[in-house]
Every structure is written in C-alpha cells, then in structure tokens.
Structure 1
C-alpha cells in the first residue's frame, strides 16, 4: 500500500501554559498542505524498514513508522511488513512531517489488513506517538488545544488560495524553541479571528515562537518580509520553525527567488 503523508501549517500559535508533565498547552489552527512524503507498507516474510531522501537521524527502532506498526501489532495479530519511507518534508521544520508519517502508517496498516479500527482509536494510537500525530488521522483543518492533541472543528477553508513554503535549512529543536517562551493567555480569540477575512490576520494572528527565534535567526524574519513583499496576504512561521509560509490569492511565480532554500508551492486544499 502506497500513501503520501502530507505536512501541515500552524495558523496562529499561542503558548498558553506550562503543564506539570513538562509539556505546554497551546492554541493553534492546524491546516493540511500538499508537501508530502511517500510511504509504502507491504506484507513481508520478515520485518524491515528503509528510508531514502532526507537523512533521518536516530535509530531505526525510534522511527515513528516502526513504532506505529509495533504498537498495533501488539494488539492485533499482524504478519511482518516491509516499510519504505521516501522522506521529502524537511525535518525539524515545524511542518509535522514525522507525525504525519506516523499517522499515515496507522491508517495504512488499518486499511491494508482490514482491521476496521475506529477513527477514535486510530487517534488514540496516534496520540501515544506524538502531540500532533492525531491531527493527521482525519487530516482536515481543526482548532487545536491542550498539548496540540485535542481538537475542535473550525469553519475555515482556504481552498483556491495559493501557498509558498520556504525552509532555509535551519534545524530548530523543540527545546531550543521553547527556551525563550513565556507562556501567557492570548489577547485574542483565535477561533473568532479566523472567521475574519484573510487580509485581517496580518497583525493579529501570531506565532509566539517568532518573537525570540527572529532575534536569534534574522534570516527567518527576512524571509517572512520577502513573502509579504511578493504579495502574500498573510505570512507566518509554522510551528517552532524554521519554515515560513505565505498565503496568496492566486498562483505566483517566484522563479529566481529563494533558490538557496527548500521551497514548495501549490494550491491549498
């Protein structure tokens, strides 16, 4: 079975409170985008995992695709599988690529072996692998809260808009991103602001990580400003960085720009 785990962007990201378990409560809108990996899972005589494309640090046993299979195999009688991941979404880029790979592994295994696992149980499996993994089970826009693993429906469609995503290759760890954050309640209700026209978001819908990371990495702020200069209606950093995105009213040709960076562009879903 071949699937294409896609990335997501954060539209607004408020760090609200430090939790007793070491995590933070957040509020954000998660929105799926088309930048995707390729993941193949097929029955095999012995279990194996292979990856191509971008280098994935860490041991094979720590890969979330492997953990997803092992987690479900512990509850169901599954044969061995061969997993092949083509890693295209940048790693440590605020796009949820690893989380998406994990969630799509769960969905693919469920479909491949006709396990008929409910959406709710698939989300429970995904939450055990990472805070935002569960989002990719249904893979549609949501208002995310608590650790980013609880969701409410959000009435938001950017279908027909065009997005340009620029990753300059700066790897920002979660620990680094949170080190400069002071949690606080946001000044605005993100759910209400998202009902406003896209043009109203610019000075209101903010990613809290930008404040400190733009000081440490001025290039990120420069890219955001470049996206506005090229005509973006709204631009922001996604997650804890380092990918910047701009949302445009129509397709835009940026040939000759951002050539040093990893860039993806396309229509929004």
Structure 2
C-alpha cells in the first residue's frame, strides 16, 4: 500500500501557558498542504524499515512509523511488514512531517489489514506518538488547542489560493524553539480573525516563536519580508520553524527568488 503523508502549516500559533507536565498549551490553525513524503507498507516474511531521500537524524529504529506499527502489532497481532519511506518534507522545519508519516502509517495499516479501527481510535493511537500527530488522521483544516492534539472546527476559506513554502535548511528542535518563549494569553480570538478576510491577518495573526527565533536567525525574518515583497497576502513561520510560507491571491512562481532553499508551491485545497 502506497500513501503520501503531507505536511501542514500553522496559521497563527499562540503559546498560551506551560502545563504541569512540562508541555505547553497552544492555540493554532493547522492547515494541510501538498508537500508530501511517500510511504509504502507491504506484507513481508520479516519486518524491515528503509528510508531514502532526506537523511533522518538518530537511529532508524526510533522512526515514528515503526512506533506506529509496533503499537498496532501489539494490539492486533499484525504480521511482519516491509516499510519504505521516501523523505522529501524537511525535518525540524515546523511542518509536522514525521508526525504525518506516523499518522499515515496508522491509517495504511488499518486499511491494509482491515482492522476497522475508528477515526477516533486512530487519533488516540496517534496522540501516543506526538502532540500534532493526531491532526493528520482527519487531515483537514482545524482549530487546534491543548498540546496541539485537541481539535475543533474552524471557519477559514483560503482554498484555491497559491502557497509557497520556503525552507532555508536551518534545523530548529522543539526544545530550542520553546526555550526562548514566554507563554501568555492571546488578546484576540484566533478563530474569529481567521474567519475574516486574509487581508486582515497580517497585523493580528502571529506565530509566538518568531520573536526569539527571528533574532537568533535573521535569515528567517528576511525570508518572511521577501515573501511580502513578492506580493504575499499573508506570510509567517510555520510551527517552531524554520519553514516560512506565503499565501498569494494568484499563482506566483517564487522559486527563482530562493535558489538555495528547499521549496514547495501549489494551490491550497
């Protein structure tokens, strides 16, 4: 079975408070985009995992796709499988690529072996893997809160607009990103703002990670400014960085302006 785990962007990211368990509560809109990995899972005589494309740091045995398989294998006595991951979504880039891979592995295994696991149960498995992993089970625009693993519907209409995602190759770990932020309650309702026209987002929809990370990595701030210079209606950093995105009214080829960066562009759905 071949699936294509896609990335997501954060439209607005408010860090509300630090939790007693050490995590942070956030408010954000998670929005799926078309930048995707490729994940193939097939039955096999013995288990194997192989990854190509962008090098994944750490031990291969710690990959989240393996964790997803092991959880379901334990509960449903799955036979061995062969997992092949082609990694094209940048790592440590605020796009949720690893979480998407794990969530799509859960969905693929559910379908491959006819496990009949409900959507809600799949989300519970995904929550055990990572804070934003459960989002990719339904994989549609959602207002996300708590640790980023609780969801509610959101009224947002940007389908058909053109988006460019620009990654300068700076790896930012979650620990590094959170080390510089001060949690605070938002002064406005993100859902209300995002239900309005995109022309009003620039002054009211912020990513709280930008303040400290832009000081540490000026290239990120320069990239955001350049996206606005190219005509973006809204531009921001996604998640804890380092990918910047610009949303444009019409198709706009920005690749020529970022020749040394990883870049994906296409229409939003």
Into which bin does the TM-score normalised by the smaller protein fall?
over 0.9
Contact 2:255/2:263, CA 8 A, preserved across alignment: no
Residues 196/169 of structure 1: CA separation in 2 closer, same or farther (3 Å cut): same
Counterpart of 2:13 in 1: which secondary structure? Answer: strand
Moved more, 21-30 or 152-161: 152-161
TM-score by length of 2: 0.99
Q: How does 1:78-227 map to 2 (within 5 A)?
A: 78-227=78-227
Partner of 1:74: 74
- Mapped partners of 1:77, 1:179: distance in 2: 41
How much does 1:157 deviate?
2.8
Aligned-pair Cα RMSD in Å: 0.6
TM-score by length of 1: 0.99
How much does 1:57 deviate?
1.1
- Mapped partners of 1:87, 1:266: distance in 2: 19
Partner of 1:266: 266
Partner of 1:254: 254
Partner of 1:50: 50
Displaced runs of 4+ in structure 1, greater than 4 A?
A: none
Partner of 2:20: 20
- Mapped partners of 2:124, 2:199: distance in 1: 36
- Mapped partners of 2:116, 2:155: distance in 1: 29
Q: Give CA deviations for 1:160-198 in whole Å, capped at 9, x if unaligned.
A: 100000000000111110111010001111011011101
Residues 209/51 of structure 1: CA separation in 2 closer, same or farther (3 Å cut): same
How much does 1:255 deviate?
4.4
Q: Give CA deviations for 1:205-250 in whole Å, capped at 9, x if unaligned.
A: 0000000000010100000000000000000000000000000011
- Mapped partners of 1:85, 1:263: distance in 2: 20
- Mapped partners of 2:36, 2:157: distance in 1: 20
How much does 1:60 deviate?
2.0
How much does 1:59 deviate?
1.4
Counterpart of 1:256 in 2: which secondary structure? Answer: helix
Q: Aligned pairs, how many? A: 269
Contact 2:157/2:195, CA 8 A, preserved across alignment: no
Moved more, 57-66 or 30-39: 57-66
Q: Give CA deviations for 1:123-163 in whole Å, capped at 9, x if unaligned.
A: 00000000000000000000000100000011213111000
> Where do 5+ consecutive residues of structure 2 fail to align?
none
- Mapped partners of 1:21, 1:175: distance in 2: 15
- Mapped partners of 1:194, 1:147: distance in 2: 20
How much does 1:61 deviate?
2.0
Counterpart of 2:75 in 1: which secondary structure? Answer: coil
